[in-house]
Copies of this chain bind each other. A is one copy, B any other.
């Protein structure tokens, strides 16, 4: 379960000279530093490139990061909760590889969460915030097609989806989808062949925005859901060769 993303400042009213002293920087521990470092490293590496499973070594990592094994082990335990690694007792720590079915499954869950976000947005978000979603695609149009700038469009795409979810004002939806995205994105071959999907993507995005602006709850929900379910179907249909 995700943490609430916020770090609420305690509203305790002290004396009159209350200068919003929140509490000095928690100086992130080695454990957390190791967690972040390992997580980033895992997301950066291309897990699906090699047929052999990717292994991690506690001692090597501790040496690499300049800390003892203890904080490393705690970080590994956290990553295992996230589902990024799996430690096998006297064998080693292996970076988890997702099957196509699992990726598709995750995208479906993502679709569920995003459609709920769309639903909430129609009832609470401000008009200007909704309209601002168009800016993510302002560099694309009939004269500058997304399919001709796949990499760039891909970034705008992800930014759009994250901004969309954020508009729901729901920390749980935000955190859950971010977690899912991390897993799905790790499967970067998703980029391959995305070209033929990119063409339909932009109009669908705009359709979602329009429904949101119209405060059409049911339509916005449906469009958001179908759009992401479309991706799931695409991966399911065109992804087999990408998994060993």
Contacts and interface: CB of A to CB of B under 8 A. Distances in A.
Interface of A: 1-4, 26-27, 29, 31, 70, 73-75, 77-78, 80-84, 86, 89, 102, 105-106, 108-109, 111-113, 115-116, 120, 170-173, 176, 179-180, 182-183, 225
Contact of A113 (B3, B27, B109): B109
A179 B1 CA distance: 6
Contact of A80 (B78, B120, B179): B78
A176 to B, nearest CB: 6
Nearest to A107: B172
Given A109-B172, A112-B115, 10 more contacts: A1-B179, A1-B180, A3-B86, A26-B89, A78-B78, A78-B81, A81-B82, A106-B172, A109-B113, A112-B116
Contact of A74 (B4, B77, B173, B183): B77
A108 B116 contact: yes
Q: How many chain copies does the complex carry?
A: 2
Interface centre among A77, A108, A111, A180 (most CB of B within 10 A): A77
Nearest to A177: B109
Contacts of A112: 112-113, 115-116, 173
A51 B180 CA distance: 35
A108 B120 contact: yes
21 contacts: A1-B82, A1-B183, A3-B86, A26-B89, A27-B89, A70-B70, A74-B77, A78-B81, A81-B81, A105-B171, A105-B172, A106-B172, A108-B116, A108-B170, A108-B172, A109-B113, A112-B113, A112-B173, A115-B116, A172-B180, A176-B176
